[in-house]
Amino acid sequence: MHSIFDPSFQLIAALAGLAAFLVAGILTRQRTPKGLRLPPGPRGLPLIGNALDMPKEREWETYNEWAEKYGELVHVKVFQTNIVIINSRRLANELFEKRSSNYSDRPQLTMLCDLMGWDWGMAFQRYSDSWRKHRRAFHEKFHSGAVGIFKTSQIKHSRDLLRRLLVKPDDFAKHLRHVAGAIIMEVTYGIHIKPEDDPYIINADEASRGIGEAGVPGTFMVDRLPWLRHLPDWLPGMTFKEKARKWHKITTDMKELPYQYAKAEVDAGRADECFVSVHLEELTAKDKLTPEEEEVVKNAAGIAFTGGSDTTVSLMTTFILAMALHPEVQKKAQKELDSVLGGVRLVEFEDESELPYISAVVKETMRWHPLFPQSLAHAAVEEDVVGEYYIPKGSIVIGNSWRLLHNEEDFGPNTDKFIPERFLEKSAIRDPETTGSFGYGRRICPGMHMAQNLLFIEIASILQTFDISGPRDANGTELPMEYNMTSGIFSYPVDLKCSIVPRSKAAVQLIEESLKTTT
């Protein structure tokens, strides 16, 4: 008789589990109602469906090819999971907006939520009362009318970004991450981070990397076959377990450590005004500070920290790339800044209404190469019918943001090119934030207003004081740009080398003088 801890017994159990899964797949094969059909898509294989067709990198290219071939709705099936890809604004609006009660759920990702511990994250929670509580707590402090109080912190740290670029321009990616982290730590936890290599920011960066890899449905086989999580570590293909354990600790520390610090400051009566302190004080004053309510505050703060320390960094890196590739756009933006500011002071938020071209650059940055090319996946709560097509209950539903943001009917011709002018023309009818760059429907990113404010002030500040170009050799000759776009849930440039130099001595002086008033 074999013990359950005997390796041979575990292998037999694994094979039995696989056999049971395959048999169940045959017996429970879903039938499409008479008169309807599944949306078109690439032909799959028996049992595994389109598992071999799913892209491993640059997913937006494959999804775009499918859209060209099959149309507004594309269906693929990976093992027993139906995936529906929405490729038009018309259908994105129909499903995510008009039928939002059915399409506001999230798929349950075993790797990300169960093993890595992101089940508390509002962005990944199922559509439920718990999600609504978290959303409400977040929205109270980050809606469009509330984020103005964060502008002081954003201005201060944008000035610090200029100083850092002045001293070590080659480390621009590190500087962008530090500044974004410094802002979100202040406004969320009241924590003033270390000038260099802050452990909170390093931890958040690692946590975001984990999300980027595990957030796309199907990246890990355990998402398709959840029972794999119960198999022994020594079996081939179980390396996901080691990754999960590592990321689980990082995720837990990211959520718990800054929150416990902020709470201790509140209890001691010395907390700065921030997301956590305001919520805890309000709940205490109303005698509603229960463990359940406190958990909501902690979780909402954790997702604010995660999103705020990563989203704008990636978009700003895309902006740097765009400026290096399109010097004519950079010169036009700088001309507008010089005309409004006269070179006598640095840009402020109050100047935004007089800087339409800078605002257009911000929008084009979000549109040109969206941070979430496939958005965060939704899930169908119940079966549905769209025209002649049947969408099974539980289907993963993906908004093809890349496709929508490159639709020439909405954004004009040459959507593969970086052309801010498209947002200044009278015929321009769409904005990236309403076309998928921040998600869809009830699951649209609630932190987008704060992110857009930071994008504006950082883009305007950098363009006012620096010139961006491709990397240069020892003789000062500009070299071709070399970079890679990441795949996964996030997409942004990596291995990006460029030249960032002050526009003039007057620009250097403006930066140095501004630091005297913000320190």
482 pLDDT band, cuts 50/70/90, is confident
21 pLDDT band, cuts 50/70/90, is low
Q: Is 113 annotated as a binding residue?
A: no
How far, in Å, CA of 399 to CA of 24, rounded?
30
pLDDT for 383: 96
297 and 346 part of one domain: yes
Is-contact 41 68, C-beta < 8 A? no
Rounded to an integer, the average pLDDT of 44-50 is: 93
pLDDT greater than 50 at residue 2: no
pLDDT tens-digit series, residues 74-85: 999 998 899 999
Q: At residue 515, what is the residue type? A: L
Please spell the DSSP secondary structure of 176-221, one letter per residue. HHHHHHHHHHHHHH-----SSS-HHHHHHHHHHHHHHHHSSTTSSH
Full-model pTM: 0.90
18 and 137 part of one domain: no
For residue 37, the enclosing domain spans 31-518
Please spell the DSSP secondary structure of 250-281, one letter per residue. HHHHHHHHHHHHHHHHHHTT-PPS-HHHHHHH
458 and 505 part of one domain: yes
127 and 186 part of one domain: yes
34 pLDDT band, cuts 50/70/90, is confident
Neighbour tally for 462: CB within 10 Å: 25
140 and 21 part of one domain: no
pLDDT for 115: 93
Task: Provide the terminal-to-terminal Cα distance of the chain, rounded to the nearest Å.
Answer: 73
In 70-227, beta strands by DSSP E: 73-78, 81-86
- State which H helix or E strand residue 484 sits in: strand 484-485
How far, in Å, CA of 460 to CA of 361, rounded?
9
474 and 336 part of one domain: yes
CATH number at residue 184: 1.10.630.10
How far, in Å, CA of 24 to CA of 455, rounded?
50
135 and 97 part of one domain: yes
How far, in Å, CA of 320 to CA of 170, rounded?
12
CA distances (Å), 157 to each of 131, 163, 303, 450, 518, in order? 32, 10, 21, 14, 9
DSSP state, 472? B
pLDDT for 31: 79
23 and 151 part of one domain: no
Supply angle C-alpha 42, 48, 52, rounded to 5: 55
What Rg, from alpha-carbon coordinates, does the chain have?
Answer: 24
Looking up tokens 């939520």 gives 113
pLDDT for 431: 82
81 and 210 part of one domain: yes
pLDDT for 308: 80
349-352 LR contacts (CB < 8 Å, sep 24+): 349/151, 349/154, 349/155, 349/453, 349/456, 349/457, 351/460, 352/456
18 and 7 part of one domain: yes
Average pLDDT, the chain: 89
20 and 138 part of one domain: no
How far, in Å, CA of 420 to CA of 459, rounded?
13
DSSP state, 78? E
214 and 293 part of one domain: yes
- The count of domains in the chain is 2
Is-contact 377 112, C-beta < 8 A? no
Is-contact 61 68, C-beta < 8 A? no
pLDDT for 39: 97
